[in-house]
Structure formats: C-alpha cells, structure tokens
Structure 1
Amino acid sequence: MVVDFNDQILIPDGDVGDFGAVACDQFSAAPEYWNNLAAVMPAQSALDLILPECFLADADRRIENIKSAAKRMLQSDRFKACRGAVYVTRKTAYGRVRRGVVASVDLSDYDYKSGAQTLIRASERTIEERIPPRVKIREAIDIELPHILLLVDDRENLLKQACESAKRVPLYDGDLRGGGGHITGELITDARALDDAVQKIIKASVSKFGCELFALVGDGNHSLATAKYCAVNNPTPFNGRALVEIINVYDDGLVFEPIHRLVKTDDPVMFMDSLRSAVKGNAKTTVYAPNPIEISVPEDKIEAINAVDKFCETYVKHFGGYVEYVHGADALKREGHFGIEMRGIQKSELFEYVVKNGVLPKKTFSLGEAEEKRYYIEARKIK
C-alpha cells in the first residue's frame, strides 16, 4: 500500500510549542531567525535535531551535536509512541487554516526524476548537491523528523471526509514558536476509510490525467529524495518508508505564491544590459533595483522562469555574486540587489503540467509564507 495509516509514530511529550521548529530550508539567508529561535526554545526540541540550511558551512560540527541530541532524547523518553495516522489542523499567523494527515509512504512508489511514472512524484527539479548533507543526518540518527508535504488532487475532499468521520483522540494542541501559529493533532487508529479514500484518488487520476498518480511533493522534495537515497543505498527494516503530511491541493488554507529571484552583483549596468540581451519575449515583468525597471520575458511563465534562471546562474558563475529565492513584494526590494519578479503557477495547473511536461523548474512556487511551512513535530524510527 502506497500509504500506511497504521505505522508507528513518535509524538513529543509535553507542550508541542516546546518542541516544534519550522522546516530547515526556510530563512536560509536569515541566520538571525534561527539564532533568535534558539534563544527561546527549551532543551530537547526539534531545533536540536535539524540543520538549518543557512548553517551548512558548519555542517560537520552541527551533525555531531544532532547525533548526541537524538541519542539523549530517545534515552530520556522525550517521545511517546502511538500507532495510526495524525489528523493535523494548522492555523497560521496569516489567518489561514489548513488540514492534513500524517502517515508513512512507501519509497518504492516515489521517484524524483522528471518524467517518472510512480504514484508519488516530484513537482520541482531536485538539486542533487542538496542531498548529501541530509544523508549525513539521516544516517547518523535513528529517527526522521520530516517537513514533507504531499499534495493530492482530491477535489471531492475524500481524505478530509474520511478523517472527520473517524474516531479521533487528541494528541497535541498548542502555539508554535517563531511565528508558526496554532496547531492541533488527533490520532486516527481505524484506517479503513482512509485506505478507501486513497484508492479512490488513485483510480480517479486515470480519468483525470491518463495515468495512476497519488501525490506530488509540494514541500520537502529534497528530504524525500534523501530518504529514497538511504533506502536504496543503506536499507534498514524501517527506512523503506518515510513520514509525510498529505494535504489536498485544493484545501482553502493552502496558497500558492510565486518565488522571485534576488540577485547580488557588483556591476548594475552590466547586469541589466546582459539580462535584457539574454532574456526576451512577448510578456513583461519588473526588475527592482530597488526602483522598478520593466523587461521583456517569454510569455509562457515556465519558459520565463527557465530563461531567467539560466541567465542568473551563468552570470554569477562568471562575474560573481549570488542568487536568492524569495517570495513577497517586500523581499524584491533590497538595496544593492536586483529583484526579478516571477509569475507563479496556480494550484489548479500543477498536476496537469507535471503529468504532461515533467517536473517544474526549481523554486517555481511556494506553499504560503516561510512561517507557514510545515513544523517538525511527528517523528518515526528508521533504524
């Protein structure tokens, strides 16, 4: 079965706010966010078990600390074990409410390569060089704490109906630090209605898309790719599956936002001249430097993203600087940088595009603001 709604899941004992931390790939250019969070988080939190990407230069030392922290937590009964699925309700600081269900998925049903025909597929291009640091962590400790969000095309709300009709036992209820809003989790131990919903979603995908498809990875593709790598190259009795949160792409609380490109360069005139020469088309977008400048881009928004990315990556490779990926209008306007506004894909376009064309370019869309990303709460033994 592609989804196991009766796997063993570890839940942090005590106040969920004393444990949860946002996905490690957020605030990658803002170490102050993570330092401020570390100053207020109590001991034995998820923050002790993750490597925020802004600290990758210090990866070896931090991974040793993660190994020690994980060992202490397992020895001190920081987690309580339960069996079933977790129905999660998250109210973010932006007033949006979304619902999902946490369960484990079979990694043999997942492939991140473009054009994959598996039941679970990537939605965006996987950057291979981002996998090795995550492999070091996954192979160093006995548990996984995922921030993976799987999106399903569930227009009939089958999974939500199955969750809400099931008997549920409260697991946690609290406020998340770092602007994460409020979260509740409830345990579902009878998986029959959930299993039935999954089968109906897969069956409906054949008429919708012409192939069997259960889910696309909305967030955490590199974490799921890491799990796949470890399952293939260093299998254990438990790591053939990975813990995820499954969310309906049409959930009212799930928003798609475009991800813009922010480029640092020392020669503004050469950058703009080169950008205008390399990227052309019948549509317009705006570059903020920080005042707005209009440029031409391809009319197809995916083609436009590919063209801008190819230019930016080539430019900084030859002339120095760096590229950041940001969302929100304010983030585009940073002194000494060029903010290139991109058009994002809509949630209604996602599944059909990936089935027809393969994965999207990296950083095509964001599921809400940074603080709305999945928090590390549930865990699972992988050794």
Structure 2
Amino acid sequence: MQPQQSFLGIEFSPILLPRPGVDLGKWAVIACDQFTSQPEVWKAMESNIADSPSTLHCILPECYLGSPDEEERITRIHRRMREYLECGILRETEPGLVLVDRETPHTRRRGMVIALDLEQYDYRPGTKPLIRPTEQTLPERLPPRLKIRRNASIEFPHTLVLLNDSHTQVVDTLFSLFTNATPTYEAELLLGAGRVMGWFVPEGKVNKILRELLLKSLEHSSFLYAVGDGNHSLAASKSFWEELKKKLPPSQQAAHPARHTLVELVSLFDRGIQFHPIHRILHPLEPARFLEFLKPRSHIQVQECPSFEEMKKEVDEDAFRIGLVRQGAYHTVQFPPSPHQTITEVVQMAIDAFCSSHPNTRVDYIHGDETLRSLSSGEGTLGIYLPGLAKEKLFPLIETQGVLPRKAFSIGEALEKRFYLEGRKITPF
C-alpha cells in the first residue's frame, strides 16, 4: 500500500466477480438488513434461487437473527464461501475498483466499489477519523455480524459510504473517463429493483487521478467519508480487525486483507442519493399508551388528520413534528423545537424509555411510507412516521454533533438498497 493511499483511506484490492455463465439475476441479492419485518420476501427469494450460485447463500438476512438455526445458517455461509472459491464460481481481478451504475424504480445512482482502510475509521464516541459513522453503534448488534466475519473467507459488502466531493465531483470524473467501454457485468435485479452495470478499472489506470481528486476534496473538509448504509456492518469489520491485529506481528498488519473492507463509495451530491426517513413500529401495545407516556415528558400538541397523505404533508413541513398511524387513524404530534437535537433523536429516546418500561413491546425500523401504513393496520400496532433529513446538513451535523441516533435516515427506498455482487478475500490464503 502506498503511504498516500493509506492517508486517503483507500486501497486498490483484487475484487471477486462471478465467472462468466453465472446468472447474475440470481447471484445478486438485496442487503441483509432489508425486509426485517417481512420474512416472506426472503423465503420467496430462497425458493426462486434454490441452489443456484448466489450471494444469498453467503449472508444472514436480519429477519433470521436469533432464530433457532442461526448457528447452522452461519456454518453453511462459511462452507458456501469456501466452495465458491474452490470451485471457480468466483474469479479474482487484478487490484483496482469497479464503477457501478445502478438504475432503480425511483432513480439512478453512480458509485465505485473500492476497499477502505479500517485504520482510518472509528465508531467510538469522541473520535474524529477520516471515515466516520453517521449513527450510534450499538455493541449488542455486533456479535452476530462478528460470528460471520470471524470465519469468513470472503466479504460481500452492502455498505454505502458517502463522499464529500462537492468541489471535485470525484465519481462523475471517473465515470467520464472509464465507462465508454463495454461493461464488465450487467444484470436485471430481483424484486423488480432495476438494473446494475459495472466497469472494472485496474489500479494502474485510475490511481493517480483518484488520489489527486481525493486530496483536493480534503482541502474543503476535515473528513472525506460518512457511512450512509451499513454502519453496523462496517463496525463489525473494524471490531474483527482490531481482534485480529493483536495476534499479528507488525510486519503482517499493513498487508493483511482484513485491514481493509470493500464498500460502495458514492458522492453525497449524486442525484440518485435521496435521504428518506426510517419510520418506527411499536408492537404489541395499546397505541394510546405511547401518547400517555409522552404527555408528561414533553409539551406536545396532538392533532387528528383526515388521511395518511395529509398527515405526511404536515409532518414533512415541520422539522419537529411526527405522525402516528394506527388501524386507519392518523394523528400528528408537535414537539417543542430543540437547538441541540433532531426530532429523530428526541423520538428515539422516548421509544427507548417506553420499551424499557414496557418490556413486552418491541420496535421495528421500517423503510417506505406505504410499508409503514400497511404494517400499522393490525391490532396492537402503532406506526411512527418521521420527517426526512436534508442531505446537505449531514456532514456539518456529523462534524458538530458527532453521530446521529440510530436509524436516523435511509438512502433511498428499500428497493434502492445496494445488492451484493462484488466480493473480496479477507484471508491471506
């Protein structure tokens, strides 16, 4: 690794891609943290893919976390990774990056798949690294991810990292230079999630221009990268590296592949990067109890709305208002503005306190307005509709306040999430 590459947080690694002939439509599957309240979506994908080569066999969908067969699933994941390497399902490129053009049902996003240096990333509060988390890391969410990482031979990333390149247009520049040739791969994605194309670019062609652009970007910001999606996955990669590093002599640490992790790097200012709120659902509970819990703790104002659309409109027009959805009834709740907190932080603290005093109630995090409405229609369920975050506020917020509360925003709707496709070896053998 060149010293300047480490300083800039990047590493040109060999990348694993499916060999010609593998059905990419079945190979690529959506991020494991999607459809957590809809296991039927995952079961349908499992039925469709069956035993075809697929990243589905190399991930643990979060809807299965804590299931009785979790350990067995993880063992199968590790076995399948080894099989894909040994049987030639995957082929390894020379060191480089992949430029990715993702067309979704809603928008289009362009990024680059590249390895980042975990020595330049830290999720501990109070640290100010080059690569920063955007949400609070919960230690209790790391063990299942670490179980997979510890014995994995390959990583398949769903992490999207946002690049603060308003002055340099890093990704756009690389696309203009390197995407005139035939794509390295092209695929229709499952679930009607659109299409994806990728162009592999070797290190020798892109190294100089990328380093120059990143150095120029760093002149305008104290940090370059903010984790958009996959905060806990990146934190697990970091935790594993810190574990492993203690067992390695210094001479082996710099070159060990687990020091780096593959991500998709996307410009914050890409038109395809749209911030959406992540809503909450509380269940089981009597919905009125949550309001009763809030009233003595906050000076709130509750107003009934005639429709879901009207509720959304009122919430989206006010940074300190939320919506409540329960069995076809809609209300808005106005909170007093706070100069030091976002509304998501205020509401999350209230939810945490409520769940602590009502241990039978759990919270689920929901992507998509219509999904929230649908899942809030059942008895004993309360949906909480939250406003979005303006993306131009993200880097200043992280700089001044540190991490945001967990699940503060989402990049795009569920079907816009990254699909697993490219991989990378994380063992030296």
1:43 aligns with 2:56: no
Q: Deviations over 1:187-216 (max 9, x none)?
A: 1121221121111111221xxxxx2x1100
Give me the whole-angstrom Cα distance separating, in 2, the residues matched to 1:361 and 1:188.
37
* 1:293 partnered with 2:301: no
2:404 to 354, 360, 364: 360
Structure-1 separation of matches of 2:105 and 2:261:
28
Helix, strand or coil for the counterpart of 1:252? coil
Residue 129 of structure 1 is aligned with which of 119, 140, 146?
A: 140
Gaps of 5+ in 1: 206-210
Greater strand proportion: 1
Instruction: Give the alignment's TM-score, normalised by structure 2.
Output: 0.83
| Match 2:237 to one of 224, 227, 233 | 227
Would the aligned equivalents of 2:321 and 2:387 in 1 still touch at CA under 8 Å?
A: no
Q: 1:299 to 1:327 in 2, by over 3 A?
A: farther
Question: 1:239 is matched with which residue?
Answer: 258
Match of 2:305 in 1: none
How large is the RMSD of aligned CA atoms in angstroms?
A: 1.8
1:306 aligns with 2:345: yes
SS of 2:422's partner is coil
Aligned residues: 376
Instruction: Rate the CA distance shift 1:300–1:328 in 2: closer, same or farther, 3 A.
Output: farther
Residues in 2 aligned to 1:255 and 1:303: alpha-carbon distance in whole angstroms: 18
Tell me whether 1:270 sits opposite 2:289 in the alignment: yes
User: Within 2, Cα distance between the matches of 1:262 and 1:25?
Assistant: 16
Amino acid at match of 1:194: L
Does residue 24 of the first structure (1) align with residue 32 of the second (2)? yes
> CA-to-partner distance for each residue in 1:231-272, whole Å, 9 max, x for gaps?
111147210001011000110111100112211133333332
Offset at 1:300?
Answer: 4.1
Distance in 2 separating the partners of 1:158 and 1:266: 48
The secondary structure found in structure 2 opposite 1:234 is helix
List per-residue Cα deviations over 1:316-342 (Å, max 9, x = no partner): 232221111113332333122111221
1:208 corresponds in structure 2 to none
Q: Which residue of the partner structure matches residue 12 of structure 1?
A: 18
Pairing partner for 1:349 from 370, 384, 393: 393
The alignment partner of 1:243 has SS state of strand
TM-score, normalised relative to structure 1: 0.93
Q: What is the CA distance between 1:223 and its match in structure 2?
A: 1.0
Partners in 1 of 2:346 and 2:12 — Cα distance?
A: 45
Which of 101, 106, 109 matches 1:89?
101
Contact 1:124 1:361 in 2 (8 A): yes
Secondary structure of the equivalent of 2:195? strand
Distance 1:105 1:268 in 2: 44
Amino acid corresponding to residue 258 of structure 1 in structure 2:
P
Segment of structure 1 superposing worse, 141-150 or 191-200? 191-200
Take 1:5 and 1:164, find their aligned partners in 2: how far apart are those partners?
Answer: 22
Between the aligned partners of 2:367 and 2:333, the Cα distance in structure 1 is 19
Return the match for 1:374 from 418, 423, 427: 418
Q: Is the 8 A contact 1:148 1:223 kept in 2?
A: yes
Deviation at 1:294, TM superposition (A): 2.7
Give the whole-Å Cα distance in 1 for the aligned partners of 2:236 and 2:322.
Answer: 35
1:170: how far off?
A: 2.5
Please state how far the C-alpha of 1:18 moved relative to its aligned partner: 2.4
For 1:195 and 1:180, locate their aligned partners in 2 and report how far apart those are by CA, in whole Å. 33
Q: Which amino acid aligns with 2:194?
A: G
- Identical amino acids, percent of aligned pairs: 33
1:106 is displaced (CA, Å) by: 0.7
Unpaired segments of 5 or more residues in structure 2?
A: 246-252, 302-319
Q: Give, in whole Å, the separation in 2 of the partners of 1:163 and 1:331.
A: 35
Matched residue type, 2:17:
I
SS of residue in 2 equivalent to 1:29: coil
CA distance in 2, matches of 1:285, 1:219: 23
1:273 positional shift:
1.2
User: Deviations 1:268-290 (Å, cap 9, x if unpaired)?
Assistant: 33332112333435844321123
- Residue 75 of structure 1 and its aligned partner are, at CA, apart by 1.0
For 1:158 and 1:72, the matched residues in 2 are separated by: 37
Residues 322 and 385 in structure 2, CA contact (< 8 A), matched pair in contact too = yes
Q: Distance in 2 between matches of 1:239 and 1:5?
A: 12
